[in-house]
Structure 1
């Protein structure tokens, strides 16, 4: 059986070196760790100042002596061509490339050096082991999937090789929920993993049927929620209806695996690889326990300058007196409503993220977007892009909705200069005006 670490090693990622580095970091005393991390952060910031044109432009001619005088990097700052944001002197073969889903409304192409990406996976393996899961455990995956060829079959092959079974979350019909149930009865899953709202929807269906998930799949040991906000109320409901402990994962694909709930219920930050800060709307640094905009620095990434990066969420954390891993105490954002369609089918708002990927792939110049549901069959789609809106773009939007949502919908597609954001500063990709859609 192939696991993610085997796959990464085969692709030339230095996983073993990263795991050794992580073990060394975790062996440090609290004081030793703080000293090491501060030096590492300054080293990475200075590297980008000297080797990255974009970061040099953001900082200015003189590198500051105080950390708080370094600029806070916004997502819009790094939405430029790779030629501008990649650090000089790094070979393409030594880089890991990816793109965000656009859950904040702003898709982003990014890069990490391979050692940085290896540190991310070393952290993930470490945190999962601490709650009793391994990379070889059979995973029930509540996740989306690209529906186009060959991406769909590529993801299915990866799932098979990596011992996961994917429950595609674009269809929440009763028929599909029954299909979920039959699979849990037949397969020996070890844990569930995936979008918060998708697992909640399934849990509500189980409640309606009077079923506890653990009863029909005794091999299950726990649940991991990711990608969307999971409130304490949501967590309690999932634990009750699944009959399993729930662990909350938090990350930003361009940045890092940022936090994970431990066995004590504390969401531990990835302090080994990131520095966390909290700022107000004027970018002034606050007491982290009071909360504000979350700012993170990836102290390992040499490919792109994620230095004091505004991730787009509100939250709070507190320093731990004894552990090197601080505790994320609050997190706001990534809440998605449910799309209710004329056929009666329901789909999570997260489905629209896959529409954004589809559009970005086909158009290549989509900056931001927002979808508003006015009635079951009526949607408004706002696009922020450099090119003028034409029939080809409108047709691409209509085709994406037909693939991922439903045929026969009434769409109004508009080009706009900007999209208003919520108080958190985060753009909500999907807004529904249906009361039933908020259920």
Structure 2
């Protein structure tokens, strides 16, 4: 760690967090200790915090006060985190219908957030300083796993309106002092990509952070331009917010000459898991209880895929208790070689809308269609939209190497997977815009 990074991480950033009335520094230190605890101590810590959250919700959050009374549920009676199964799942629909009733009676200074989700229907919720402090501390801990720290030069490729709308004069200078620079992921035109490459070469960041699709796009453009990017001293590329595909990891790593660290979470569910240098996707178990449930809402054992359900233990002001994320994953069955006691999320298979359904009802991961398209000569980018079980649309951006006969090949191979009577429409377009958030999704199913 150089002198300036040490100054930022030990003095400037802690001062910044204190002025915002965040407990980030103390929490990060506790988390760095807790990551090495044995499983039984971590489970006991989780349970104690869970009881505190449920007691507080029963006393001060109208929605949970009424719900617990209807169920005859006493937070003091829980003996393990498995007792959460006595409570119903929290859905986005429930939150939309009970937004005010989910607010803590004594909460102050909460920040309003909203996320559009895959359907575009906004989810409005609130986050308090406690939750923000815990999420920042968890992210900071995971950052330090990779021998980088707050204050090391960083390039952030992001598209969230929340970050992009806050680029005022004060934040400009804060980012300069913290040595982080934001590149907007909304527009990926060739002139913009040229600027991005020039900026990255000029900054020589120690770390990159962004959507895997955006970093891959920049990397591929650098390859196309013949610009070397592996000589900059980049230590790690942190990716999040989208499913990370193996070929994206390989491209980012090769072009930028660095390791790729996957992260998983969201503004609603919190900082759920992060990859360590040994390759384990560690759950933030000192802050979050994760369950895997099947379609009937029944909890599944480790090794079995299902929907990821989260209880964030620091969401007192606006509790997320048994919150359905809509993501599909698998809990790990063995510990990580790094020695950390934090349990593992063995597999993240994407959102439920990243899966497609064949005409006969068979559920398949979107990769089954992606593999057909990604290796075709002349295909620059694509997007698959399953409008219904009877109709799938493919958006395709191609160059001169694309053979006309490939269109028939796409239709034929899609029908082999989805069903012979399924209509497959291929639209060749000039470009495929990202989502409003700046993310890019290769497969969207409305079926």
Superposed pair shares fold, TM > 0.5: yes
Indicate which of 301, 317, 326 corresponds to 1:303: 317
Q: Give the conservation status (yes or no) of the 8 Å contact 1:30–1:323.
A: no
| Residues 188-267 of structure 1 mapped to structure 2, 5 A cutoff | 188-215=204-231, 218-267=232-281
TM-score under structure 1 normalisation?
A: 0.71
Structure 2 portions without partners, runs of 5+: 1-6, 355-365, 371-379, 384-391, 397-424, 433-441
2:73 matched to 1:63?
Answer: yes
2:103 matched to 1:86?
Answer: yes
| C-alpha distance in 1 between matches for 2:134 and 2:382 | 32
**1:271–1:26 distance in 2 versus 1, CA, 3 Å:** same
| C-alpha distance in 2 between matches for 1:151 and 1:348 | 32
Q: For 1:63-103, what per-residue CA distance to the aligned partner results, in whole angstroms no more than 9, with x for missing partners? A: 0653211111112211246531112233x13x454333535
**1:247–1:103 distance in 2 versus 1, CA, 3 Å:** farther
Q: Give the conservation status (yes or no) of the 8 Å contact 1:274–1:299.
A: yes
| C-alpha distance in 1 between matches for 2:164 and 2:111 | 23
2:42 matched to 1:14?
Answer: no
Partner of 1:421: none
Q: Give the conservation status (yes or no) of the 8 Å contact 2:309–2:324.
A: yes
| C-alpha distance in 2 between matches for 1:166 and 1:43 | 38
Indicate which of 275, 278, 289 corresponds to 1:275: 289
What SS class does the counterpart of residue 19 from structure 1 fall into?
helix
Q: Give the conservation status (yes or no) of the 8 Å contact 2:309–2:325.
A: yes
Q: Give the conservation status (yes or no) of the 8 Å contact 1:198–1:348.
A: no
Q: For 1:40-70, what per-residue CA distance to the aligned partner results, in whole angstroms no more than 9, with x for missing partners? A: 2133123212321112344424106532111
Partner of 2:435: none
What's the offset of the Cα at 1:314?
0.6
Structure 1 portions without partners, runs of 5+: 338-345, 350-371, 377-431
Q: For 1:154-208, what per-residue CA distance to the aligned partner results, in whole angstroms no more than 9, with x for missing partners? A: 6655533432222222222222222122222322211111111111111221222
| C-alpha distance in 2 between matches for 1:295 and 1:46 | 20
Q: Alignment RMSD, CA only? A: 3.4
Larger Rg: 2
**1:21–1:191 distance in 2 versus 1, CA, 3 Å:** closer
Partner of 1:178: 194
Indicate which of 13, 34, 40 corresponds to 1:31: 40
| C-alpha distance in 2 between matches for 1:149 and 1:255 | 21
| C-alpha distance in 1 between matches for 2:84 and 2:98 | 27
Partner of 2:91: 74
Indicate which of 131, 143, 147 corresponds to 2:158: 143
Q: For 1:129-165, what per-residue CA distance to the aligned partner results, in whole angstroms no more than 9, with x for missing partners? A: 1111111011111112649997443665553343222
TM-score under structure 2 normalisation?
A: 0.69
| C-alpha distance in 2 between matches for 1:136 and 1:374 | 43
| C-alpha distance in 2 between matches for 1:231 and 1:160 | 32
Q: Give the conservation status (yes or no) of the 8 Å contact 2:37–2:340.
A: no
Q: Give the conservation status (yes or no) of the 8 Å contact 1:269–1:327.
A: yes
Indicate which of 102, 123, 131 corresponds to 2:146: 131
**1:131–1:435 distance in 2 versus 1, CA, 3 Å:** farther
What's the offset of the Cα at 1:220?
1.5
| C-alpha distance in 1 between matches for 2:349 and 2:148 | 27
**1:290–1:126 distance in 2 versus 1, CA, 3 Å:** same
| C-alpha distance in 2 between matches for 1:262 and 1:282 | 33
| C-alpha distance in 1 between matches for 2:53 and 2:101 | 18
